Amino acid sequence: MRENPHKPTMKKNLLRFLFIFTLVNLQIATFAQDSSHLRISLLTCTPGEELYSTFGHTAIRVVDSSSVTDYVFNYGTFNFDDDGFYLKFIKGKLMYYLSAEDFAVFKENYKADNRGITEQVLNLSAVEKIGFQQALFNNIKEENKFYKYDFFFDNCTTRPRDLIVNFKNPHPQPVAVMPAGTRFRQAIHSYLNKNEKHWSKLGIDLLLGAPTDAVMTATQSQFLPDVLMTSLDSSNKKISLLLSSKNLYAIDTDKNKGSIFTPVVVFSLLLIFIVGLSLSKNKWAIIFIQGLDGLLFFLSGAVGILLIFMWTATDHAMCKNNYNLLWALPTNTLLAFFTNSKKLFVKKCFLFTSILLAFVVLTWFFLPQQMNSAFLPIVLLLIYRSAVKYFL
């Protein structure tokens, strides 16, 4: 019996149709299996050049196919024009708020700043998506959108994390991403070192006290956008939190070389310069050093006063118990006006200062707070000039 020449072709076409039909249904099952017509994603943005963007950013994308909208909800919004902005920022009372903008605008802004965006589509049921969206709509109301920002405990990343935990059932457990025993300070150092922000690191280490050296739990570590993103990728596969994950566009990863004038280099050169100049018998060099002594002691004392203010008069919990006060002595502001005094009492004050600071140097790496080694040349300079004031 002769075979029908069209039969194989019909079989192939049927197989193609079944294959395409299956793929389409899989897509429908993945993204439109429910009646919510929603797709909710976590957007994680790479770090930027400015200090406030060094640690990255997190936002929430909500695509509604029924209303044909595509919005990004952003908990990291603040107003530079707010009355008393800088004072509120310093005192830890600055209010951040939830805002929304079109995804296309959000994407172009980050692309223009050469900051990448990773999108993670959340695996939520129709009921969970609707509840999630309603929570965002409620939070963005004028009476609800403001909140007191806390970099470590209540920020643009912890708020989306809390929404995911609240609306995903069963509630997901935190996944440890960072090595066991990692401290808050170590976590932020990893970003500052990677981005070669040595001076920013110096300022942060100066202001943040011993609480920053506490060991983080898995949940606490999720204040960092990258950590939350990685923990979602590492979630239990039996109860996967994600449907998909992808980078939305490529960015230029070339980085400029950092400056050689790091705090350690600059302060070490300052120490060498002042010690060398103080050995000179030149009249003008002596006058210059005397004036520099007053400035050195006054500035170190002013730093100490600032640290006390940050500890006692602000809402920054991480600024408490600051061991930098052991070398940035507030009393130095008074000594600054007596650097040329020959009175015995003043000389004894300088002796006490030099002995105390020497003890601090000896215990520098054993204190409950991780101290920034870039300050050591300054402390050694204070010891040296205090000792000179006592013996001369």
pLDDT tens readout for residues 355-384: 999 999 999 999 999 999 999 999 999 999
Q: What local confidence, expressed as pLDDT, does residue 5 receive?
A: 40
Q: What is the mean pLDDT of residues 19-25?
A: 44
Q: Say if residues 223 and 178 touch (Cβ distance below 8 Å).
A: no
pLDDT at 130 over 70: yes
Of residues 283, 151, 271, the one with CA closest to residue 220: 151
- Over pLDDT 90: what percentage of the chain? 74
- pLDDT tens digits along 145-194: 999 999 999 999 999 999 999 999 988 888 899 999 999 999 999 999 98
Residue 71 has φ and ψ, to the nearest 5°, of -115, 150
Of 15-19, 273-277, 378-382, where does mean pLDDT reach its minimum? 15-19
Distance CA 131, CA 168 (A): 10
Q: What local confidence, expressed as pLDDT, does residue 23 receive?
A: 43
pLDDT at 206 over 80: yes
Q: What local confidence, expressed as pLDDT, does residue 10 receive?
A: 52
- Structural tokens at position 53: 């963007």
pLDDT at 236 over 80: no
- 3-state DSSP of the chain: CCCCCCHHHHHHHHHHHHHHHHHHHHHHHHHCCCCCCEEEEEEEECCCCCHHHCCCEEEEEEEECCCCEEEEEEEEECCCCCCCHHHHHHHCCCEEEEEEEEHHHHHHHHHHCCCCEEEEEECCCHHHHHHHHHHHHHHCCCCCCEEECECCCECCCHHHHHHHHHHCCCCCCCCCCCCCCCEHHHHHHHHHHHCCCHHHHHHHHHHCCHHHHCECCCCHHHHCHHHHHHHHHCCCHHHCCEEEEEECCCCCCCCCCCCCCCHHHHHHHHHHHHHHHHCCCCHHHHHHHHHHHHHHHHHHHHHHHHHHHHHHCCCCHHHCCCHHHHCCCCCHHHHHHHCCCCCHHHHHHHHHHHHHHHHHHHCHHHCCCCCCHHHHHHHHHHHHHHHHHHHC
Q: Where are the domains of the chain?
A: 33-174+218-247, 263-391
Of 14-18, 215-219, 235-239, 277-281, where does mean pLDDT reach its minimum? 14-18
Q: What is the mean pLDDT of residues 336-352?
A: 94
Residue 368: asked if its preceding bond is cis (omega within 30°), the reply is: no
Q: What local confidence, expressed as pLDDT, does residue 4 receive?
A: 37
Residue 28 pLDDT grade (very low, low, confident, very high; cuts 50, 70, 90): very low
pLDDT at 3 over 50: no
Q: What local confidence, expressed as pLDDT, does residue 25 receive?
A: 44
Q: What local confidence, expressed as pLDDT, does residue 256 receive?
A: 64
- Structural tokens at position 385: 């000039």
- Structural tokens at position 96: 């951040």
pLDDT at 234 over 90: no
Question: How confident is the prediction for the chain on average, in pLDDT?
Answer: 89
Q: What local confidence, expressed as pLDDT, does residue 352 receive?
A: 96
Stronger pLDDT, 53 or 299, i.e. the higher one? 299
Amino acid making up residue 154 = D
Global pTM reads 0.85
pLDDT at 31 over 70: no
- pLDDT tens digits along 36-92: 899 999 999 999 888 888 999 999 999 999 999 999 999 999 887 777 777 787 888
